[in-house]
Structure 1
Amino acid sequence: MLDKDKVKKLNIFATKIRIETIRQIATRGFGHIGGAMSICDVLAVLYGDVMKIDPKNPKWEKRDWFVCSKGHAGPAVYSTLALRGFFPVEELKTLNQNGTSLPSHCDRTKTPGIDVTTGSLGQGLSIAAGIALGHKLDKKDNYIYVILGDGECEEGQVWEAALYAAQKKVNNLIAFIDYNKQQIDGYTKDIDDLGDICKKFEDFGWYSLNIDGSKVEEIEEAVRKAKAQKERPSMIVLNTRKGEGCSFAENTLNNHHINVSMEQGNEAVEILEKKLNTLMIN
């Protein structure tokens, strides 16, 4: 269970990730704001408390691996990596521009700290399961973490990977679904209803948990429970809001990939900076 100071620290980190993510996308003028904002809290927990990492040595052999299967949420990952010191924060303003090391989708050949290239949806869980199995066979004690989108879970390959990971008992694999209930064309329930996705993964042989994905303390506790069980891969369903924490995006449906003006960005950042100041004072 996280103490009060740790919860405060992680909430501050998540808010900073949101601020830098909005700044990136506003500077570029467009981007995947919705799905980037909804994973900031889980990124704060993973990179601020849970994962074994070394920003000065991104390829450290004993590190935990992270796969952002919903690779279009890369800006949030880049913000996290920069804030942790993998590369200068100033580089964030080059997002998706000529010569950048921060392309629109995550690319392991370009960005320090990115373990797996992603963006073509449906593939990340298969990759993560393979990495986890390889590490298990090599008797390594690190964990592989992967985040999927809920719309992404309409891809058949996700469920092939789910079956395989359970069959091979890759208990060093901990996955998350960003269950913000929206995708590019609308609500997931109207396009290809996922039903009880937590129960689905349980039926596929996974250890499954359903939590509030905006509460860092619930995320940390879920990871701790996932690690405590040693028999199966784990799926943590994060109930989130698409665009979480972004004033112009969080309460709209069409927020998957949108144009963002500097004025919009500055206004949203100002709101978050006020929240940040309050968190730091209290």
Structure 2
Amino acid sequence: MSLTAEKKKYLEDLCKNFRVEIIELLHKIQTGHPGGSLSATEILTTLYFEKMNVDPKNPKKEDRDRFILAKGHAAPILYFVLAEKGYFPKEEMQTLRQINSNLQGHPCAKKTCGVELSTGPLGLGLPAGLGMAMGAKLDNKDYYTYVLMGDGEIQEGIVWEAAMSAAKFKADNLIAILDNNGVQLDGTVEEIMPMGDIAAKWKAFGWNVIHIDGHNVEEISDAIDEAKKTKGMPTIIIAKTVKGKGVSFMEGQNAWHGKPIGAEDYKKAMAELGGAVNG
């Protein structure tokens, strides 16, 4: 079922606010990963505020949906979404990446309410997500497990081992999403390790493949509905995105994978995003 006009606007407005908050905070603390957080904004926002069965008042309820941020460096957008959802006070965001903070540079399941799996080393998200999905089947639970991966991440061999296993065990309650922005830490995917026809690879491994615009909340929502209707095989949603989406000089630039945001760049970014410049 497509989103209502009201819900679509609500999600899009949330995304606009999250982008402003990401730039504001990462400039203030002079650390963190803006590029991949901005490319994943619509995906996480749609999952948490429209599609996923989660309850911040009961974060460990047995039948909750699970979300794994396999590309753990995009922690800023995950934390902003969790805070907005009510998992912890938004004021805690000011402690991001600081000593003894609950909000580490990469998600930590032991420290942060709402985080299902500690991530950072790329490649471990999909196999762990498969384990959660198979656990649901063994326990006769109907929850879904979502895994958000990055382009550079799927160059890891462990991803494809998990992909084979998921197809073998018919893990139709596992939905992977590829944040397909075409850029990784040191350059474009084509420069570092070309992946060829990504869709063909996943199909060859026995997966249902859906293509979408990863910045269109309605397409994201519809794709998840379609994935849930697919039985007997796992689904990957290939979400075409732009690294640094919303800030023109960051878009498609690997330099903004984890670069500190200087004063002038901060002012330019906030002007483009419509945010107020502080300090």
Q: Distance in 2 between matches of 1:114 and 1:246?
A: 28
The Cα shift of 1:195 comes to: 1.2
- Using the TM superposition, name which of 116-125 and 53-62 deviates more: 53-62
Q: Distance in 2 between matches of 1:151 and 1:188?
A: 7
Q: 1:2-151 counterparts in 2 under 5 A?
A: 2-151=3-152
Q: Distance in 2 between matches of 1:203 and 1:151?
A: 20
Retained in 2: the 8 A contact 1:188–1:194? yes
- Using the TM superposition, name which of 230-239 and 54-63 deviates more: 54-63
After the TM superposition, which segments of 4 or more aligned residues of structure 1 sit over 3 Å from their partners? 262-267
Q: Distance in 2 between matches of 1:130 and 1:269?
A: 41
Retained in 1: the 8 A contact 2:32–2:97? no
Query: What secondary structure, in the 3-state scheme, does the structure 2 residue paired with 1:237 have?
Result: strand
The Cα shift of 1:262 comes to: 4.9
The Cα shift of 1:269 comes to: 3.3
The Cα shift of 1:175 comes to: 0.5
Retained in 2: the 8 A contact 1:13–1:48? no
Partner of 2:251: 250
How many residues get paired?
A: 275
Q: Distance in 2 between matches of 1:9 and 1:244?
A: 19
Unaligned runs of 5+ in 2: none
Structure 2 CA distance for partners of 1:87 and 1:198, relative to 1, 3 Å: same
Partner of 1:265: 266
- RMSD value over aligned CA atoms? 1.5
The Cα shift of 1:58 comes to: 1.4
With structure 2 as the length reference, what TM-score do the two structures score? Answer: 0.94
The Cα shift of 1:90 comes to: 1.2
Structure 2 CA distance for partners of 1:107 and 1:272, relative to 1, 3 Å: same
Query: What secondary structure, in the 3-state scheme, does the structure 2 residue paired with 1:254 have?
Result: helix
What do the CA deviations read for 1:238-261 (whole angstroms, capped 9, x no partner)? 100001113442253421110113
Structure 2 CA distance for partners of 1:7 and 1:65, relative to 1, 3 Å: same
With structure 1 as the length reference, what TM-score do the two structures score? Answer: 0.93
Q: Which amino acid in 2 is paired with 1:115?
A: E
Retained in 2: the 8 A contact 1:23–1:93? no
Q: Which amino acid in 2 is paired with 1:9?
A: Y
Q: Which amino acid in 2 is paired with 1:182?
A: V
Query: What secondary structure, in the 3-state scheme, does the structure 2 residue paired with 1:11 have?
Result: helix
Structure 2 CA distance for partners of 1:5 and 1:96, relative to 1, 3 Å: same
Query: What secondary structure, in the 3-state scheme, does the structure 2 residue paired with 1:30 have?
Result: coil
The Cα shift of 1:85 comes to: 1.1
Retained in 1: the 8 A contact 2:183–2:253? no
Q: Which amino acid in 2 is paired with 1:224?
A: D
Structure 1 residue 240 corresponds to structure 2 residue 241: yes
The Cα shift of 1:265 comes to: 3.2
